[in-house]
Amino acid sequence: MIYHRLVPAPPLNTFVEYLWLYDDFMPSHGREKLLPNGAMELIIDLRDHPKHKWDCRDLVHGTPYRKAWLSGMQTEYIVIEASPGSMMGVHFRPAGAWPFFGSPLGEFADQVLELDEVVGDEAASLRDRLLEEPTPKQKLRLLEQWLLARGGERLYPDRAVHYALQQMLSLPMRLLIRDLAAKIGISQKHLIHLFDQQVGVRPKQLDRILRFNRVLSMITQSKPREMDWAAVALDCGYYDQSHFIHDFEAFSGMTPSAYLAQSATSDYPDYVRLD
């Protein structure tokens, strides 16, 4: 597989962590879990074979997605098809998708939507133009330009949301949401409204997802054979080990120890291979 990544220049880098493209992916497995990671994702299929998202509760009923789609903020894991192909996309930062899609992002939570449902005919036009570009670098630059044009004058962060996100990302959340809102100088209700609009989930839910991802990163970076889970819970801001295990299983559908055994086969913290 050939993999390319582009980190955009300002002002896009405030909203987009990176653009990506892979070619000739040949997986050795058929399906994989995608765990909640606190971000939305735009995916464009460069081939015509549909990809599927499976019902994670029975793994029998699959929904096909073709050409391009948008994955909203996920609050539990989803099961997706790992099929051969070539794809590209955009990995947004938390609250990063807001300038490009306009609607309250809470409407997209726990959904994967065909892109034309969100942006209309522009989805097909974008994909056609990307297919015409001869090299991965040119495809990524075109996608970058599309984002710049679509974001337009909205490419500036909301100060309240930006400050709240920085607090959540910089350390395990220890403030109550009402205390965080008071530090910003707005009501708790207004902060929740801003997050529903610009992030896609409420502040408390995002804090749980980010805390869960701190654990995944800790495991993936060190790849240990065993972990002191009580110490992990404390370091990542959980009340106790029981609280940690409850959240971990809620987001991943597996125990921390089961994830640890699986993580040796993946370089990506939020992906778990199935079958």
Q: What is the pLDDT of residues 30-85, one digit of tens each?
A: 899 999 999 999 999 999 989 999 988 888 888 999 999 999 999 999 999 988 88
Q: What is the identity of the amino acid at 230?
A: A
pLDDT given for residue 173 in this prediction: 57
CB count within 10 Å of CB 212 equals 24
Mean pLDDT in residue range 241-266 = 90
Instruction: Reply yes or no on whether the pLDDT at 15 is more than 80.
Output: yes
pLDDT given for residue 76 in this prediction: 95
Residue closest to 247 by CA, chosen among 273, 218, 209, 190 = 209
% of the chain at pLDDT higher than 90 = 75
Please answer whether residues 38 and 105 qualify as being in contact, where contact means their C-beta atoms are separated by less than 8 angstroms.
no
Task: Give the CATH architecture of domain 209-274.
Answer: Orthogonal Bundle (1.10)
Mean pLDDT in residue range 179-199 = 95
SS3 (DSSP) at 14: helix
Q: What is the pLDDT of residues 199-211, one digit of tens each?
A: 999 999 999 999 9
pTM: 0.94
Q: What is the identity of the amino acid at 139?
A: K
Q: Where are the domains of the chain?
A: 2-154, 159-203, 209-274
Rounded distance, CA 163 to CA 166, Å? 5
Residue closest to 99 by CA, chosen among 175, 152, 160, 54 = 152
SS3 (DSSP) at 179: helix
Around 261, how many Cα atoms within 13 Å sit in the side-chain half-sphere? Answer: 5
Could you tell me the pLDDT band of residue 152, with boundaries at 50, 70 and 90?
A: very high
pLDDT given for residue 46 in this prediction: 96
pLDDT given for residue 182 in this prediction: 94
Q: What is the identity of the amino acid at 207?
A: D
pLDDT given for residue 267 in this prediction: 72
150 burial level (CB within 10 Å; 0-12, 13-18, 19+): middle
Residue closest to 180 by CA, chosen among 89, 15, 170 = 170
Rounded distance, CA 33 to CA 269, Å? 11
Among the CATH numbers 3.40.1620, 2.60.120, 3.40.50, 1.10.3470, which is that of 2-154? 2.60.120
Question: Please, what's the b/e burial string for 59-71 (b: 16 or more CB within 10 A of its CB; e: otherwise)?
Answer: eeebeebebbbbb
Radius of gyration of the chain (CA): 19
- Mean pLDDT rounded to a whole number for the chain: 92
DSSP element (H, E) containing 101? helix 98-101
Identify the DSSP state of 57.
Answer: T
21-35, 157-171, 213-227: least confident range = 213-227
Tokens 């994830």 belong to 259
Strand order across the 51-54 sheet:
62-65, 51-54, 78-81, 31-34, 271-274
CB count within 10 Å of CB 269 equals 20
Instruction: Reply yes or no on whether the pLDDT at 171 is more than 80.
Output: no
Instruction: Reply yes or no on whether the pLDDT at 223 is more than 80.
Output: no
Q: Mean pLDDT: which of 146-150, 221-225, 232-236 is highest?
A: 146-150
